[in-house]
C-alpha cells in the first residue's frame, strides 16, 4: 500500500506505448494512474472513453494519464478500438494502458476488489485513482468498487485543488471549483493576511467567537 505523502514506487511495466519506468515516464509532470477491473467490460469502456475525451483538460494542467488492468497489451490494443467507437474519439490514443497480467502492481498498490472475480476465480482490480505530484509523492488516492464508475469531472476538480494548495496558503471548501472562494489556512496569522491575500480576507463570525472561518478570493 502507498500512503499519502509517500514517494510512489518507481515501477517498471509494459504498456500500450512500450515499456516504461514510472518516474522517468512522469518526468516533471503531475500524473494520474487509474486502474480498471478488466478490458472489454461495460463500465470500464465508458470510463476510459471519458478519460480520452478529457485528455486536453489533463494536458492543460500538466497531468500525464496512465491506466492499468490485469490484461495483456494485446487485449488493451484491441479494446481501444471498441472504446473509440463507443466514445466517438478518433486518432492517436492519448494515454498508455499498463498490462498487469500477474497482478503484481495490483497487489503492491492494494487495488484488488475481493468481491469481483474473473471466470477463473481471480480477483479483479478495483477502480483506483492515484494522483502523483512532480516530486513523485502520492497526493491523493480514491478507491471505488468495480461496480461504480468514476466521475472524471471530480478528478479534474481535485487536481485543481491540489495544484492550487501546493503553492498557496489556502484550502478549498466543500463543493469548491476553480475560481471560487478559498479558505485561509489556520497557520496564517491575522497580521500576515495582507501579505498573502491582497484581495482581502472575510472572517465569518461564529458563536464560539473563534475567527477560524476566513475566506479569500482564489489567489493568482
Cβ-contact 147, 43 below 8 angstroms: yes
Say if residue 211 is in the same domain as residue 143.
no
- CATH number of the domain residue 70 falls in: 3.40.30.10
Does residue 98 fall inside a structural domain? Answer: yes
Say if residue 139 is in the same domain as residue 182.
no
Say if residue 105 is in the same domain as residue 184.
no
- CATH number of the domain residue 180 falls in: 3.30.1020.10
Cα–Cα distances (Å) from 154 to 54, 98, 128, 173, 176, in that order, read 12, 23, 14, 14, 10
Q: How many domains does the chain have?
A: 2
Say if residue 80 is in the same domain as residue 132.
yes
Please give the pLDDT value at position 117.
Answer: 64
Domain that holds residue 186: 168-220
Domain boundary pick from 150, 177, 205: 150
Say if residue 137 is in the same domain as residue 174.
no
Does residue 20 fall inside a structural domain? Answer: yes
Does residue 163 fall inside a structural domain? Answer: no
Say if residue 109 is in the same domain as residue 208.
no
Q: Show the DSSP H helices in the chain as ranges.
A: 22-26, 42-53, 55-60, 73-87, 104-108, 152-165, 193-196
Say if residue 187 is in the same domain as residue 146.
no
Cell numbers linked to 81: 478500438
Contacts of 142 (CB under 8 A, 6+ apart): 128, 129, 150, 155
Say if residue 87 is in the same domain as residue 130.
yes
Does residue 5 fall inside a structural domain? Answer: no
Does residue 1 fall inside a structural domain? Answer: no
Cβ-contact 39, 79 below 8 angstroms: yes
Say if residue 21 is in the same domain as residue 75.
yes
Please give the pLDDT value at position 116.
Answer: 67
Domain boundary pick from 150, 176, 201: 150
Please give the pLDDT value at position 126.
Answer: 76
14 phi and psi angles, rounded to 5 deg:
-90, 135
Does residue 3 fall inside a structural domain? Answer: no
Say if residue 122 is in the same domain as residue 210.
no
Please give the pLDDT value at position 159.
Answer: 98
Q: Kindly report the CA angle at 142 between 153 and 161, in degrees rounded to 5?
A: 50
Strands 30-35 and 63-69: parallel
- Residue 43, number of CB atoms within 10 A of its CB: 17
Indicate which residues carry an active-site annotation. 44, 135
Q: What does the pLDDT profile of the chain (220 residues) look like in tens digits? A: 789 999 999 999 999 999 999 999 999 999 999 998 889 999 999 999 999 999 999 999 999 999 998 899 999 999 999 999 999 999 999 999 999 988 889 888 888 766 666 666 666 777 899 999 999 999 999 988 888 899 999 999 999 999 999 999 999 999 999 999 999 999 999 999 999 999 999 999 999 999 999 999 999 8
Amino acid at each position: 500500500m502507498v500512503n499519502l505523502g509517500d514517494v510512489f514506487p518507481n515501477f517498471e511495466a509494459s504498456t500500450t506505448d512500450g515499456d516504461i519506468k514510472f518516474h522517468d515516464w512522469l518526468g516533471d509532470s503531475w500524473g494520474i494512474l487509474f486502474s480498471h477491473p478488466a478490458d472489454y467490460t461495460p463500465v470500464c469502456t465508458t470510463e476510459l472513453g471519458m478519460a480520452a475525451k478529457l485528455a486536453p483538460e489533463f494536458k492543460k494542467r500538466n497531468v500525464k494519464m496512465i491506466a492499468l488492468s490485469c490484461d495483456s497489451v494485446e487485449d488493451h490494443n484491441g479494446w481501444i478500438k471498441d472504446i473509440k467507437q463507443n466514445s466517438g474519439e478518433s486518432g492517436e490514443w492519448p494515454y498508455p494502458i499498463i498490462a498487469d497480467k500477474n497482478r503484481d502492481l495490483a497487489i503492491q498498490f492494494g487495488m484488488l476488489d475481493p468481491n469481483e472475480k474473473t471466470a477463473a476465480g481471480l480477483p479483479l482490480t478495483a477502480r483506483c485513482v492515484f494522483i502523483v505530484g512532480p516530486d513523485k509523492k502520492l497526493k491523493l488516492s480514491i478507491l471505488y468498487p468495480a461496480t461504480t464508475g468514476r466521475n472524471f469531472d471530480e478528478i479534474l476538480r481535485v487536481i485543481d485543488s491540489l495544484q492550487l494548495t501546493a503553492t498557496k496558503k489556502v484550502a478549498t471548501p466543500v463543493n469548491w471549483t476553480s475560481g471560487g472562494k478559498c479558505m485561509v489556512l489556520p497557520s496564517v496569522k491575522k497580521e500576515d493576511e495582507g501579505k498573502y491575500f491582497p484581495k482581502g480576507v472575510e472572517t465569518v463570525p461564529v458563536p464560539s467567537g473563534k475567527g477560524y472561518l476566513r475566506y479569500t478570493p482564489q489567489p493568482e
